[in-house]
Structure 1
Amino acid sequence: MEDRHGNGITLMGALAVLLIGLRLAGLIDWPWWAVLLPLWGPFALVAALVLVIAVLDIATEALKK
């Protein structure tokens, strides 16, 4: 059977590698925080989901009272 662990590079990882290469080659003059922004994408998505769930939980608790 084929083992599928998902060891490939993600879209955000590939974009980060591309932007880092372009920055190091001098082809773009973006600040490093902007170049590394794709690496923060998954963390931002999880944080946004946790925030939405927390707000919905607080709202439903307030409506029950």
Structure 2
Amino acid sequence: MAKSESSSQAQGVGFFGLLFLVFLVLKLLKVITWSWWWVTAPLWGGFAFAIVALIIFLIGYFIKILIESKRSK
């Protein structure tokens, strides 16, 4: 008998997917009157947060380089 390899993968809807579905249902039932940007925020919010964090990191890094280059002169 051949051994079967098992892989453990999470299946299902995650927290942000579930949050999006709740917002979507509430929007379609006209319980909330939010903009579609806010309804879909759980889908793109994490990506937007990562981009903003990267930009802040790069700005800090370039400021550090500028300060160090002025000190060495």
Question: What is the TM-score with the length of structure 1 in the denominator?
Answer: 0.75
Larger radius of gyration: 2
In structure 2, which of residues 5, 12, 17 is the aligned counterpart of residue 13 of structure 1? 17
1:21-54 deviation digits (Å, cap 9, x = unpaired): 1111222222222211222211111111211221
For structure 1, the residue ranges without an aligned partner over 5 or more in a row are: none
Provide the aligned C-alpha RMSD in A: 2.0
The answer to whether the aligner puts 1:31 opposite 2:25 as a matched pair is no
Percent sequence identity over aligned pairs: 25
CA spacing shift, 1:5–1:63, aligned 2, 3 Å = farther
Higher relative contact order by CA 8 Å / sep ≥ 6: 1 or 2? 1
- Find the counterpart in structure 1 of residue 66 from structure 2: 62
| Larger deviation, residues 25-34 vs 39-48 | 25-34
* Consecutive aligned runs of 4 or more in structure 1 exceeding 4 Å deviation: none
CA spacing shift, 1:4–1:60, aligned 2, 3 Å = farther
Question: What is the TM-score with the length of structure 2 in the denominator?
Answer: 0.69
The answer to whether the aligner puts 1:41 opposite 2:55 as a matched pair is no
